[in-house]
Each structure stands twice: as structure tokens, then as C-alpha cells.
Structure 1
Amino acid sequence: MPVWLHITLIVLITYIVISVLLYYLQDYFLFKPEKLPKDFQFLYENQVVEEYNIETRDGAIINGLHFKVENPKGVVLYLKGNSKSIKGWGKFAVDFTRHNYDVIMVDYRGFGKSTGKRSQKAIKRDLQFIYNTIKEEVSEKYIILYGRSLGSGFATKLASMNNPKLLILDAPYYSLTKVTKRYMPFMPLSLIIRYPMPTYKWLKYVKCPIRIVHGTDDKLISFKTSIKLSQIKPKQTRLYPIIGGGHKNLNTFEEYHKVLSEIITGREKPIDLTTTSIGVKHSKK
């Protein structure tokens, strides 16, 4: 066998093996869940919160938190990023309860106390079920969808299939295929990725106002992504750049809280930063 053919076969076999490994191991790379014991108690200062568990049609349990206020103006369904659990993400509920909105957060399958086999289809189905449950109690004109990082794609999908009051995207991606391609440009990602999450496709069918918040120094998901997304439905979209903001620290910027207040209330007004999550730091682990 010629040397060049031998080398070609080795490269081809290696390429195929890596592709197969990426297909089966991508959950490990995409999701960084924190598991919580069933008896874990959620505690948050100065917050009224109720824990709930919802069983899905395939027997999975979706665990969530409902942060409550008196006489709420509406409810925010907060879809978090790909790490940890709602134990830590719950600290950010204050950014909405301070505006007199209830907040509902859920852990995706395999996160926190939630169970079940994870897939893009299963998570979308779970979140639609949660949304339908909220609709039974609250009119859609009072529902705000907030998607952070990984959650931005799921929030967009929900908005495309329903009629919420508002869609807020925090550090959104164009698609997970595009994000992954930055790190593995030579892999056949369109064939092997099981979580393509095409936010840009779903955004085309969103009918409500769209607000995008993104740090200009985000190293994980480029700010350019939000520029491209904002151009899909420009008449109903507004992009808010947080100058100098990264991927995990927007809440430490005063401008972020000013922007969020403007988005939620529809007007600019002074804010008391002591009532926000500005001091909360994401874990480095």
C-alpha cells in the first residue's frame, strides 16, 4: 500500500472516530448540570418562593421555582443557561420581582432535581408544557419570556409557537451549530450535532416585541451574533449593547439593570441597585 494511501486511511478513520465520539459525547460538552438531592431546600433572602414538580408524559420530573410578589403585573418565564441548577440562577429573580413580576424558573432534564432523558425535542416539549400550565392561570398578554445564553434558543422557540407579551434574549446565539463550528471548523457538525438550536430560524416566526441584550466583550458568543439576529425582524426588535460586558457578568453592570428596567417598564427611570443582582457572581467551577 502506498504511503500516501496509508496516511489518508489513518486520517479518514481518525476523522470518523472523532465524529462518532462527538455525536455521543456532545451532552458532556454542551451541558454542565449540577445535581441536587431530592430533599434540598431552596432558600432566598427577601423572596417568597414556592417549589413545584411537574411530571411529563414520558414520566420525567421537571423541578421548578415560582418567585411570587403581591398583585403581580405578570409573570416572567426565565430560561437559564447550560450550567449549574436553579439553586444559583434563582438569585437573579430579583431583577424581575423588583418590577412586580412573578418569576418562574425550571431546571432542564438532568439538572438540579429534574429527571429524564435529555434531547432537544424533549426539552422543547417540557417547556411548552410549562408554558401551557402558566397560560391556565395567566393571560399570554402578561407573560414575558426571558432566555439567557442556552435558554435564548428555547425562549425563541416558545415565542414562535405562542403569543407572549415580550421576548427578551440575553447573550443569544445564532445557532448552536454556528457556535460549535468556531471551535471545530472541520467537523461535519450539521450531520452530528443533536442540539442545532437554530434560533435564527425560530425568530422569523416571533410576533411579539423582541429585545436583545448582549455584552460587547462576550468571548463565548460574539456580540456580532446579536447584530445578525436583530436584523431578522428589525421592526419589532431592539438591540441593547452592554459596553465591556462579557458572557457571565452582565448583571454586574449598572447599564444592564437600567436597560432591563427600560425593557420591562417601557420607560427609563432611576433604579436602586441594592435591589438587583449586581453583586452576584457566577461560580467559576
Structure 2
Amino acid sequence: MTYWVSTALLILGIYIAISIALYYLQDYMLFKPEKLPKDFQFDYENQETKEYNLETRDGAVINGLRFFPKGESKGVVLYLKGNSKSIKGWGKFAVDFTRHGYNVLMVDYRGFGKSTGKRSQKAIKRDLQLVYNKIKEQTTEDRIILYGRSLGSGFAAKLASLNNPRMLILDAPYYSLTKVTARYAPFMPLSLLLKYPLPTYKWLKYVKCPIHIIHGTHDKLIPYKTSVKLAQIQPKLTKLHSVIGGGHKNLNNFESYHNMLDDILNSQSKTLDLETTSINVIHSSKKAKKKA
């Protein structure tokens, strides 16, 4: 009896130790920041940029970079990036929006690039709302597009749920970060341990603008079926765009992705007259009557 009790206590002790380690080390596992010196100079070929530093109420500094289109601006895309590197590397994707006539604003989360401050889910959400408010001082909300890529998709959904942007675009989004991490640690109480649950599915319920979801069908990190589930939350507002064969990090290498982005950014919303469609036509399921 003593042997089984000792074994059970040992297993319990290991389980608790792993749980504690996950709690305190999750920032290092989730975020892969690239830090930049304060005097670092951003430089992109054929791109006009302007750097910004925004001070938060708790004394942190959020560093951002604005990319300008050639010619008259159609609006602003607030691009919320993934969990790695800094806007130094992510800046090369701004061309996908400036070429369509949009300003692009990218910001580094706390601890990334030149941004400072203690990182938490609450702090990042507060920082991004501050950034959004600053954009609203320069333009109207019907000219603001929120684009969230991977980790940034959850924060973009939260921002859209609290504001009224022109549209929300989610690139390889997750249902919740708790669901993603549960695939790798199925026996851990992640709902209690995770500091960044990021429940995208909850926030999408309160979004009032058009929602576009882009996802690769061969995404190994965040499965394509995740976006199918997210698209069902608000089906009347949501359109799912599938990049056939696309993975998690290579959608920009597919021509179909750029065609989708072109359609999304340049399409004009219009009301469909359903009375002129076959929406009410029901296929007959009656079996042929047997001859008497």
C-alpha cells in the first residue's frame, strides 16, 4: 500500500512541478521577440515610412511604423503581427496593402523591437486600443481596416468587438489560444494556467463589421478547421477564404492569397436581393409512387 501511495504522490508532485513551470515559462514559449536598439533605423526599399513612439499610462513605450502608399490614401490598415521577431521583419508585408492605396501601421508588442513595458494580455489589449484611438484622431473609423495575423488575430478580433472599423481580416486565426496549446499539453489544466487565453471565438460574437477569414488548408500549427468553426459564429458577416495548399507561414507565396486580398480590399459591399435567387427552392425528396 505504501508503494502505491508513494508512486501516486511522486506523480502528483511531477504534475504540479510541470504546471508551475508552464505557468512561469509560458511567456518564453509563446513569444519569440526580436529586440532592437533605440537608434535602429528602419529601411525598406521603395517604401516611404515614418516611425512613431507612443507612451502608455504605465510608462511603457509602444514603437510603431507607418507605411505610406503612392498617391491618395484609401484608409489605414492596422496590421497586428504574429508572435515572433519585430516589425523590422514584418514590415516587408506592408507592400501588400500600400500597393492598393492604403496606409499601413504596424506596432511591436511590449518587449518586441523598440517597445518596452511588462507584457500581459490586459496590457497589450490596452496598448492596441490606445493605438486605435490615435488612428481615429487622424481619420474616420469607416476608413480603418483591422488585420490580425496568427497571434495578432485574437487581438484584432478584440479591437473590432469594441470599435466600429470598416472590416476585420483574420489571417490564420485560432479559436482560442487555450485550444491551440491544449494540442501539445492535453493533460494540463491550461484554462487555469494560461496567462493569454485569447478567446477569439468569444470576441467575434460582438463584431459588427464584415469579417474576412483567410486560412491555408495545410496549416499544421493552427488547423484549417479552426477557421471553419470561427466562420460559423457570425455567418452573415463572415466570408472564409481558403488558400489551397497553404501552410501557416507561407500564404504570401501563393498567388491565390494576393487575389483574395485584392478582392477583399477593393470590393464594394452591396445588398443581395435574395428574392431573385434560388434560396427558397427545395429539392424534392418524395419517392416515386408505385404503380397500382
Normalising by structure 2, we get a TM-score of 0.91
Match of 2:25 in 1: 25
Q: Structure 2: where are the runs of 5+ without partners?
A: 269-292
Give the equivalent residue in structure 2 for 1:15.
15
Letter of the aligned partner of 1:151 in structure 2? Answer: G
- Ranges of 4+ aligned residues in structure 1 off by more than 2 Å: none
The residue number in structure 2 matching 1:200 is: 201
Give the secondary-structure state (helix, strand or coil) at the position aligned to 2:20: helix
1:47: Cα distance to partner? 0.7
Q: Which residue of 2 aligns with 1:159?
A: 160
**Aligned mates of 1:19, 1:176 — CA distance in 2:** 17
Query: One-letter code of the match for 1:200?
Result: Y
What does residue 225 of structure 1 align with?
A: 226
The aligned counterpart of 2:3 is 3
Does the residue aligned with 1:50 lie in a helix, a strand or coil? strand
CA distance in 2, matches of 1:125, 1:207: 20
Deviation of 1:71 after TM superposition, in Å, equals: 1.6
Amino acid aligned to 2:120:
S
TM-superposed deviation, 1:68: 1.2
Q: CA deviation at 1:32?
A: 0.3
SS of match in other structure, 2:179: helix
SS at 1:235 equivalent: coil
| Residues in 2 aligned to 1:121 and 1:29: alpha-carbon distance in whole angstroms | 19
SS of the equivalent of 1:52 reads: strand
Calculate the aligned-residue CA RMSD, in Å.
Answer: 0.7
Q: CA deviation at 1:99?
A: 0.4
Equivalent residues in 2 for 1:43-54, closer than 5 Å: 43-54=43-54
Instruction: After superposition, give the CA deviation of every residue in 1:137-182 in whole Å (9 maximum; x if it has no partner).
Output: 1100000000000000000000000000000000000000000000
1:277 matched to which residue of 2? none
* Identical-residue share of aligned pairs (%): 74
Q: Cα deviations across residues 103-152 of structure 1 (Å, max 9, x unaligned)?
A: 00000000000000000000000000000000011100000000000000
Q: Name 2:172's counterpart in structure 1.
A: 171
Equivalent residue for 1:283? none
Task: Count residues in correspondence.
Answer: 267
Offset at 1:203? Answer: 0.2
- 1:215-267 alpha-carbon deviations (Å, 9 max, x no partner): 00000000000000000000010000100000000000000000000000017
CA distance in 2, matches of 1:92, 1:47: 11
- Cα shift at 1:195: 0.2
Pairs within 5 Å for 1:252-263: 252-263=253-264
SS in 1 for 2:242: strand
The one-letter code sitting in structure 2 at the alignment partner of 1:79 is L
| Separation in structure 1 between the aligned mates of residue 13 and residue 124 of structure 2, nearest angstrom | 34
Structure 1: how far apart are the matches of 2:117 and 2:249? 28
d(CA) in 2 for partners of 1:266, 1:185? 42
Scaled by the length of structure 1, what TM-score is found? 0.93
Given residue 64 of structure 2, which amino acid in structure 1 is its aligned partner? G
Give the letter for the 1:221 counterpart: I
- State the AA in 2 paired with 1:211: H
Larger Rg: 2
Residues 84-99 of structure 1: pairs in structure 2 closer than 5 A: 84-99=85-100
1:49, distance to aligned residue in structure 2 (A): 0.2
